[in-house]
A and B are shown apart, each in its own frame.
Chain A
Amino acid sequence: MTATAIEHGPEHGHAADDHHHAGESGLATYLENTRRNRLGMWLFFASEAFLFLALLVTRFYLWRGPHGEVVRPELDQFAGLVVTAVLLLSSYFMNRAEVSIANDKRTDFLTSLLITAFLGTAFLVGVVVWEWGMFPGIVKGHLKPTDGVFGAVVFGMTGMHALHVLSGVILILNVWWLGRKGHFSGERHWGVEACAIYWHYVDLVWIFFYPAIYLIGTTIDVPH
């Protein structure tokens, strides 16, 4: 099932309460809540892993040549490499954002978030415009969704992943906006942490998807 913004981290918005608990016992509650949130988040990842595994299984089950060999369609290798690099780079800036807020460096935090969101958007544009060919006036894509199992699986896998990237970008922008208004601190920034681990998770998924779609198997010509 797809991720919706609600699922990202149960109660991740506790971040919003960051400034409203004061004192020692407030902090203890906050820390215990964060431990629960963290566990919830990891369980959510475990759940999502099954969705992505199902898609990987589908890919290896369906992409078979006439003699049962593992095959893949011809895609734009350059596009694949570029979007992958962009996404991996974005994870670095996400990490920088988290480290910055942990050290109360707000300006760095905000800048890094914006860079992450920008790179995430670049990834999305790369996939949708370059690889999918959504706007044939700009770039003509290689495959259509209706091109048998090749179209179905490429669009299914990249589509499901893109949906997660999109929700991640929205989340990052939300955190950025709250951060600008003065939310989060070195001590209390579960909202940022949730956003960061979600982003790394989505990245990790791509590390499995990219070779499955672009690298493994012999290429096969897909007629239209």
Chain B
Amino acid sequence: MSLFTLGIARGLLGQVLGMVIGMLLTCAVRILLGWEAWAAEPAWTVGAVCSIIGFLLGVGSLDDWLKWTKGIPTPLHHGPPVDKPAWTRYFSVDYNHKVIGVQYTVWGILLLMVGGTVAMIFRTELARSGLQFLGLDLYNSFIGMHGMIMIFAILLGVGGMANYLVPLMIGAEDMAFPRLNALGFWFNVPGSVLLLLSLFVGGWDAGWTAYPPLSARGPIGYQLFFLGVFAIGLSSIVGSLNLLVTLLRMRPEGMSLFRMPIFCWAVFATSLIQLTATQLIGTSFLMVSVQRALGMGFFDPRGILGEVSPMVGGGDPVLFQHLFWFYSHPAVYIFVLPGLGIVSELLPVFSRKPLFGYKWIALSSMAIAIVGFLVWGHHMFVSGYNDILRIPFMYATLLVAIPTGVKFFSWLGTIWGGKVHFDTPMLFVLGAISVFLIGGLTGPILATVPTDFPLHDSYFVVGHFHATMFGGFVFPFFAALYYWFPKVTGRMYNETLGKIHFFIMTPAFWVQTLGQMGVGVMGMRRRIADYDPTLGAGQIESWQLAVTIAGFAIAFGVMLMLWNFFQNAEVGAAAGDNPWRSRSPEWQIPSPVPEHSFPAPLHVVGEPYDYGLADAGYVTTASTGDD
């Protein structure tokens, strides 16, 4: 079997070829126009666009559509490839949502490791003041890279959970558009490659937010970064579209919206944001990209009259911030809503009690998604926009606390008086709540204009968003990995190792996030490789060191988890079909889930979370024969 039977190998080859073809094309056009043949920036940019197409063609995710354009029918193939070993389907285009879910998750974990490694490098640099081994520009490229890789990793993790779980939870045979689903995943691979490649053509030193004017003037790395984000953005858009259609049209009879497992509500709200807001980061980056490439001065304040005043026709960098944050604030809810859904999903299982206030939790996700669109200006209090705008943005932001609080209270209400089982997934859920609380409480401090002035662009913000993202995504994601590992593999992970992982990671994370906030209050700024050791009455260095050590401890915990999974995926103890005694549909079928998940359509006979109530079923999978 040659390497190129694997779709991903063909894809990467296609990506290289696409890059070369794109560059040659650029040179050819330039020669035709009578210009100098080689210009690095256009060549790399066009090359990168072609490289994405090259990958998709190479991996084969466009095959069916290309056939359709010629009128050739393409029946969906179910099951592993006929002429290759079964495992190869995970490395090639496959239309089964369970395979795609695993592909998303594994690729997400890989990126998590790459992003984590980058973070460990610059954390080591920060452990002491002075410049040790990273230059100023490289440091800035690294923090931006860490941020964006982690965002990709989170989007992939979200995609993984949603793709694997949603069809199972609503008893659908697959997603609504399996081909689009595969395409949505494969966009991510060339996107990540471009992002990593950007480091080798100068990097990009403005942080993940890439504000112009810096991003409009920096190295070529920016173009590859923009295109990488573009690819991931397309993945978000087609993926969320697919999930929305699946949720709206493929539920079984009797499963009204308010009888779906609560995770589906979280995915629904998330997908609405992803479908729409993602366009804005695409547009804003595209505008910077064409400003660089074609001189279109959207954000260039110089104007056409040059030095003459009043300036006419000048662009405005603040516009970029509006467009960018119109995506990037709602984006934080893309990161956390699915995770919060996991928390709501798991709490009743491990407390053996009904979910407290199902409807309120479902609607609070929708409320967060909607209000989330109205608060982007809280990132711009010091941007120089009209002062008056600060007030509505401040109040709108504080309003988000209400639906978030609803979730907290219903979580407490669910645990209250329950017979709580402290298995590893439940520990991570409780860890998530504790960490998210820290993050959530620091939000209003930043949302209040007078307190944001000194804190903006300081490490306090870094501490805030690490707490929200760990509490809202990383901890719940790990809980989900432990919880559904037996469903995916049919085997049980090692419980002791899982608990050790938890008890290392949670306190380490508290130290990390509170430490970041602490150095921020002492005066440490974001995006600077060096700091004054006399800050914080000379205490800052020891705080920085503590944060670095905590970071390494977290990394160690994650390695422990991966080792645990790796060890037990094939040889662990058999888990049985429903080790957690869950009521959710995916646990009523065998583990690992067979190719066609459900033998017959689901019958919904009750409420999803009636744990502890006698004779209260939720779904049955057996065909009862009366229809």
CA distance A60 to B378 in the complex (A): 22
Interchain pairs with CB closer than 8 A, number = 158
A156 and B297 contact, Cβ closer than 8 Å, known pairs A47-B275, A48-B279: no
Q: At the interface, yes or no: A103 with Cβ under 8 Å from chain B?
A: no
Contact B298 A156 (CB under 8 A): yes
Contact B298 A149 (CB under 8 A): yes
Instruction: Count residues on chain A whose CB falls below 8 Å from chain B CBs.
Output: 53
B139 to A: closest C-beta gap in Å: 31
CA distance A146 to B316 in the complex (A): 15
- The chain A residue sitting closest to B271, CB to CB, is A43
A50 and B319 contact, Cβ closer than 8 Å, known pairs A40-B176, A66-B312: no
Query: Which stretch in B6-14, B117-125, B234-242, B420-428 binds the other chain?
Result: B234-242
Contact B297 A149 (CB under 8 A): yes
A19 to B: closest C-beta gap in Å: 8
Contact A61 B303 (CB under 8 A): no
- The chain A residue sitting closest to B274, CB to CB, is A47
Contact A156 B241 (CB under 8 A): no
CA distance A36 to B290 in the complex (A): 36
Contact B183 A183 (CB under 8 A): no
Contact B69 A148 (CB under 8 A): no
- Chain B residues 351 to 407 lying within 8 A of chain A, measured CB to CB, are none
B68 to A: closest C-beta gap in Å: 3
A147 and B313 contact, Cβ closer than 8 Å, known pairs A47-B275, A50-B276: yes
- Cross-chain contact of A50 among B70, B230, B279 (Cβ < 8 A): B279
B558 to A: closest C-beta gap in Å: 32
A1 and B282 contact, Cβ closer than 8 Å, known pairs A35-B249, A178-B71: yes
Q: At the interface, yes or no: B572 with Cβ under 8 Å from chain A?
A: no
Chain A 196-214 interface 0/1 with B at a Cβ cutoff of 8 Å (1 = within): 0000000000000000000
Contact B244 A43 (CB under 8 A): yes
Contact A47 B237 (CB under 8 A): yes
Q: At the interface, yes or no: B448 with Cβ under 8 Å from chain A?
A: no
B285 to A: closest C-beta gap in Å: 9
Query: At the interface, is chain B mostly helix, strand, loop or mixed?
Result: helix
Contact A146 B294 (CB under 8 A): yes
Interface centre among A12, A15, A20, A47 (most CB of B within 10 A): A47
Determine the chain A residues whose CB is within 8 A of the CB of B286 once the complex forms. Answer: 1
Instruction: For chain B, give the interface size range.
Output: 35 or more
Contact A36 B294 (CB under 8 A): no
Determine the chain A residues whose CB is within 8 A of the CB of B303 once the complex forms. Answer: 148-149
Determine the chain A residues whose CB is within 8 A of the CB of B316 once the complex forms. Answer: 61-62
Determine the chain B residues whose CB is within 8 A of the CB of A220 once the complex forms. Answer: 312
Interface centre among B68, B286, B290, B313 (most CB of A within 10 A): B313
Chain A 48-68 interface 0/1 with B at a Cβ cutoff of 8 Å (1 = within): 111100110110011001100
Q: At the interface, yes or no: A118 with Cβ under 8 Å from chain B?
A: no
Determine the chain A residues whose CB is within 8 A of the CB of B314 once the complex forms. Answer: 148-149
Q: At the interface, yes or no: A155 with Cβ under 8 Å from chain B?
A: yes
- Cross-chain contact of A151 among B230, B234, B275, B296 (Cβ < 8 A): B296
Contact A152 B310 (CB under 8 A): no
Contact A36 B315 (CB under 8 A): no
Interface centre among A4, A61, A149 (most CB of B within 10 A): A149
Contact A223 B276 (CB under 8 A): no
- Cross-chain contact of B312 among A10, A32, A65 (Cβ < 8 A): A65
Contact A148 B315 (CB under 8 A): yes
CA distance A19 to B174 in the complex (A): 24
Q: At the interface, yes or no: B148 with Cβ under 8 Å from chain A?
A: no
A1 and B69 contact, Cβ closer than 8 Å, known pairs A46-B275, A62-B316: no
Q: At the interface, yes or no: A6 with Cβ under 8 Å from chain B?
A: yes
- Cross-chain contact of B283 among A10, A51, A145 (Cβ < 8 A): A51
Q: At the interface, yes or no: B291 with Cβ under 8 Å from chain A?
A: yes
- Chain B residues 305 to 332 lying within 8 A of chain A, measured CB to CB, are 305, 310, 312-316, 319, 322-323, 326
- Chain B residues 265 to 308 lying within 8 A of chain A, measured CB to CB, are 275-280, 282-284, 286-287, 290-291, 294-298, 303-305
Q: At the interface, yes or no: A74 with Cβ under 8 Å from chain B?
A: no
A150 and B313 contact, Cβ closer than 8 Å, known pairs A1-B237, A36-B177, A61-B319: yes
Q: At the interface, yes or no: B180 with Cβ under 8 Å from chain A?
A: yes
Determine the chain B residues whose CB is within 8 A of the CB of A65 once the complex forms. Answer: 312
Q: At the interface, yes or no: B233 with Cβ under 8 Å from chain A?
A: yes
Q: At the interface, yes or no: A104 with Cβ under 8 Å from chain B?
A: no
- Cross-chain contact of A40 among B183, B241, B280, B296 (Cβ < 8 A): B241
CA distance A97 to B164 in the complex (A): 41
Contact A55 B72 (CB under 8 A): no
B202 to A: closest C-beta gap in Å: 24
- The chain A residue sitting closest to B282, CB to CB, is A1
Q: At the interface, yes or no: B179 with Cβ under 8 Å from chain A?
A: yes
- Cross-chain contact of A156 among B233, B290, B295, B326 (Cβ < 8 A): B290
Q: At the interface, yes or no: A16 with Cβ under 8 Å from chain B?
A: yes
CA distance A47 to B235 in the complex (A): 13
Determine the chain B residues whose CB is within 8 A of the CB of A57 once the complex forms. Answer: 322-323
B520 to A: closest C-beta gap in Å: 32
Determine the chain B residues whose CB is within 8 A of the CB of A1 once the complex forms. Answer: 230, 233-234, 237, 278-279, 282-283, 286
Determine the chain A residues whose CB is within 8 A of the CB of B295 once the complex forms. Answer: 145-146
CA distance A141 to B275 in the complex (A): 37
Chain A 168-194 interface 0/1 with B at a Cβ cutoff of 8 Å (1 = within): 000000100010010100000000000
- The chain A residue sitting closest to B298, CB to CB, is A152
- Cross-chain contact of B287 among A17, A40, A58 (Cβ < 8 A): A58
Contact B296 A223 (CB under 8 A): no
CA distance A178 to B73 in the complex (A): 12
Determine the chain A residues whose CB is within 8 A of the CB of B238 once the complex forms. Answer: 7, 10
Determine the chain B residues whose CB is within 8 A of the CB of A49 once the complex forms. Answer: 276
In the complex, the 3 A-B pairs of residues with the closest C-beta atoms, listed nearest first? A13-B68, A148-B313, A152-B296
Given A7-B237, A55-B283, A152-B290, 17 new contacts (CB under 8 A): A16-B68, A40-B241, A43-B241, A47-B279, A50-B276, A50-B279, A51-B282, A54-B280, A54-B326, A57-B322, A147-B313, A148-B315, A149-B298, A149-B315, A152-B315, A153-B298, A223-B305
